Structures are given as structure tokens and as C-alpha cells.
Structure 1
Amino acid sequence: MNNPIANEALPDDREDDDARKASHRSIARISCGQALTPSQLRDRTVIYRTDVARPEVDAFRDLRTKLLAMVDGNFVTLVVPVSRGCGGSFVARNLAAAMAFDETKSALLMDCDLRQPSQDATMRIEIPTGGLTDYLEDPEADLSTVLYDTGVPRLRLLPAGRPRETGAEYFSTFRMRLLVDSLRSRYPDRYLVIDGPPVIGSPDARILADLADVVVLVAGYGRDTPATIAQAAGNFDPAKFAGVLFNEGV
């Protein structure tokens, strides 16, 4: 990890200045048009910054800090539940929101739970031009048509699109890998959070892990047994595995 102490800019560091200005311009281009109110954010179960300390916000800030300490630069985080009902989508959504708290950064939430996609419905976003599956099925599709404003500053959503029984044939394609690489590289100040399907009962989460830099496993508090959690964790490369987050289920 790089030294957190910033170097002082020299008077002739014009290239660095240009890079910083370009970064701020890139953030400005993806800022949302109409920000949601605190009441609307609560209704969508999305965290937001406030002057009053709140445990749930601090928890996601802490998770963000730990992930930033693991990987340099912008990176792709896969969030997957052990089993259905653990609240994996809740964690993915709010981790992405926490990433976007930093006004010099942005985040993109990518819904890859193709059997039961939920992010667009939870955030009440209409998707007239479809989502991930529609883009992957159409070689002529324009990526910009499936990236949606969430109403959360600096946070965009790539919804799953029409539900599919399995994502294996989508996630293992060259077009999917190219998409993830493009989403990561288009803005060097953007973090990509993938909302993945449950690990138990499907190979989709393991396939998605190959596209990610770091994996967060969400276990249902009082729902998943230690043996089941260990079985799920064993599916991932230890070098990428960030750990297990216990959630009451949302």
C-alpha cells in the first residue's frame, strides 16, 4: 500500500495538476441530477452522510476503509451472500454508497444476481433500455444506455436486466470480462461493486470472483451455520478473500 502522506506538489508539476483536474471533471460528469432526500434514502435502505453518528453508516465506512487498505488504486469488489436472504444486496448497495461518500471518488453498483435481481426495484429506478443481460446479448448495444442515475451523488447503477436462470453463460464470456475492464478503466477514480448471487447452489459467484479484485462474503446472522460459511468461503482465492460480514438479512 502506498504511503498515505501526500507529497507536496512542485511548481512545475503540470502533468500532475492536469491529472487532478481531469479527475475532478470525470467526477462532475457522473454526478447525479437530482439527489434523493434523507427520507427517500431511508425508504430505499441506502446509507447517507449526516452530522449525527450512526452505527450502520460507521460500519460501512469501516468496511470501505479495510478494503481500501487491501488494494491499491481503484478496484472491483464482489459482494456475495452465503445463501438467499442474507442481505447481500443490501451490503453491496451500501458499500457502493460508502465508496461514493468521498467527493473525489465515484462508485458503480452492478447487479449480477440474475435469478432474483433487486437493485433497480429497491432503488425505484425504471430501466427502459434494459440492463446487463440486454447489453451482453447485443453486440451493438451502447454501454451508456444501461448505466442509470441512482439519485445518490457519484453512484451509478448497472441493473441486471431481465431475470435469467443462470449467469454462467454470461459471466464467463469475453464480452463480460471486457465490460468489467472497461467500467474499471474508464474512470480511474471509480470503484466497482458487484452484487453477486448466493454462493451455495450455484457456480455464478465463483465465476464472478475471477473478475473481482476482492471478495466480501455476507453470512446471515443466526441463519448460516459455521460449516456452511466455511464451505462458501472455500470457493474463493484466499488472496482475494476479504472476510465474512454478518448481517441480520435485508
Structure 2
Amino acid sequence: MNDSNLAAAAIVSAARDAERRDVVRKSETTSLTPRQMAERSIIPYADGANRPLVDSFRTLRTQLLAISNENFITLVVPVTKGSGASFVARNLALSMTFDPTKTALLVDCDFRHPSQHSSLKVDASRGGLANYLENQHSEVEEMLYGTGIPRLTLIPAGRSAYGDLASEQFSSFRMRLLMDSLRSSFADRYIFLDGPPALGSPDARMLADLADVVILVAGYGRNTAADIAIAAGNFDPRKFAGVVFNENA
């Protein structure tokens, strides 16, 4: 067999291996019971009692999919701390996986108040996003965690050595390269960034530069119309998808 035939065989073998990995990735079964899902503040979608809430997230997902024909990055941010954006980001990412041809990656970008790993009861001992951004030798695979939900993966916030200045990494070349890599590596992967509050710091605006779509979450009866307007004004109107009012805040 000549060199060209060997190269062709290697390409075919690699393609088959990738296809097998893809099949395995998409055929995962959840190990979480409805009770375990509820404990993680994930809506038990198989429970008919939750159908209205599940359908509201499915509707939001459908509206997002109508924006683009390609996979995209969605930033979900609260108006203020406690508005419930992490709950919305988590369940919106979950709703994307209802379609067996799609996967979702949830990234906790709230370095000051990280919550996704504890809510999902994930042992994030390998570190997370902050560790990756600050350590040039770390690998992406080290910060990817299973959630017990098919096709839903988590990148926790991790721990930073820079304290309140950790978010400065959001504007780094390494962060931008990471987002491009995570999106391009799988055409069926939709990325959801759980961001910090829109009011009080520039962190959310920095993350918005990396996103294709921005969703603002207001706590129902918690955030005033004036606060919502000011928060919404922080984002590019071409990216701003709207406001979600969350009664779970």
C-alpha cells in the first residue's frame, strides 16, 4: 500500500472513530430520577405536572433557534444578583437537549458567585474556567463535566487566583479562542454562558462581546422597570433577544 493509500485509510479510520464517538455521545442515558432533577433545580421534563414550565423553555429555545441556522453562544445574565438567571440558563441549556440531534454546554462565568456546579451536584475538583484561563498548560477536557443529563455538559467557574479581578480574563485572547474552539468542535453544540449581573460591574458587557445572543433575566416583582431598562441598555441591540421574567428568583 503506497503513502497516498495509507493516508486515505487513516482519514477513513479517523472519520469512523469520530462517528462512533458521536453515536456514543448522543446515546447516553440519564441516571437522574425526577426527584434528583428537582433537587438540582432542573425541571423534571417527564413529569406532566411541569408541562407548562417545560413548554415555556421549549418556546424560548425555539425562538433562539429561529435566529440562526448555525450553533450559537447565548449569554444569560440577571439584572441583579438573585434574579434567577442561573436557573434560567440551566434549564434553557437542558431544553436544547430535548432534540436528540443537539447537545448543550453550560459554562458558569459568574466568578464572584459561582453556583452551577453546586446546583448540579458536580464534583468540580479538576477545576474549571478560571483555572483554564490562568494556566496555559491546562487542557479543555480537564474542565468538562458530565451532569447526569444526556448531551448536557458543564464547565464550572473554577477558582481564580486573582479574586475580583478574575473576570478580566473574559477579554483575553485565550477566552476568545476557547469559545471559538468549543463552538467549532461540534456543529450540534449550543453554548450557554451563565453570566454575572448586568448592573454593578462591567463583567456581563465583556462576556456579551463573545456571545451571539444575550438574554436578560429579571426577578418577577424584584427588579424595577427602570433597572431593567438600564441593564438592557448595556448590550448591543442586535444581540439582545429580550427579557425573561423569572418567578423562581
Aligned residue type for 1:221: Y
Task: Report how far residue 157 of structure 1 moved.
Answer: 0.1
Cross-structure match for 1:100: 97
Cross-structure match for 2:55: 58
Give the greater-gyration-radius structure (CA): 2
Distance 1:233 1:123, change over 3 A: same
Distance 1:31 1:199, change over 3 A: farther
Contact 1:113/1:160, CA 8 A, preserved across alignment: yes
2-side partners of 1:181 and 1:142: how far apart? Answer: 15
Contact 2:34/2:47, CA 8 A, preserved across alignment: no
Contact 2:93/2:104, CA 8 A, preserved across alignment: yes
How is 1:128-167 mapped onto 2 (pairs within 5 angstroms)?
Answer: 128-162=125-159, 164-167=163-166
Task: Report how far residue 35 of structure 1 moved.
Answer: 2.2
Task: Report how far residue 49 of structure 1 moved.
Answer: 2.9
Cross-structure match for 1:12: none
Cross-structure match for 1:11: none
Q: 1:98-133: CA deviations, max 9, x gaps?
A: 011111110000000000000000111001110000
Distance 1:242 1:188, change over 3 A: same
2:80 pairs with 1:83: yes
Contiguous gaps of at least 5 residues in structure 1: 1-18
2-side partners of 1:213 and 1:24: how far apart? Answer: 30
SS across alignment from 1:80: strand
Deviates more, 1:218-227 or 1:165-174: 165-174
2:219 pairs with 1:220: yes
How is 1:36-75 mapped onto 2 (pairs within 5 angstroms)?
Answer: 36-50=32-46, 52=48, 54-75=51-72
Aligned residue type for 2:118: A
Contiguous gaps of at least 5 residues in structure 2: 1-14
Aligned residue type for 2:35: S
2-side partners of 1:138 and 1:32: how far apart? Answer: 31
Q: 1:5-40: CA deviations, max 9, x gaps?
A: xxxxxxxxxxxxxx9x96785263366575211110
Cross-structure match for 2:173: 174
1-side partners of 2:20 and 2:101: how far apart? Answer: 7
2-side partners of 1:239 and 1:177: how far apart? Answer: 20
Q: 1:144-201: CA deviations, max 9, x gaps?
A: 0110000011000000001642443110000000011111111100100000000100
SS across alignment from 2:76: strand
Aligned residue type for 2:228: I
1-side partners of 2:127 and 2:235: how far apart? Answer: 30
1-side partners of 2:219 and 2:243: how far apart? Answer: 10
Q: TM-score, normalising length from structure 2?
A: 0.87
Contact 2:105/2:154, CA 8 A, preserved across alignment: yes
Cross-structure match for 2:196: 197
Distance 1:245 1:155, change over 3 A: same
Distance 1:228 1:103, change over 3 A: same
**Residue correspondences, number:** 231
Q: 1:183-228: CA deviations, max 9, x gaps?
A: 1111100100000000100100000000000000001111111111
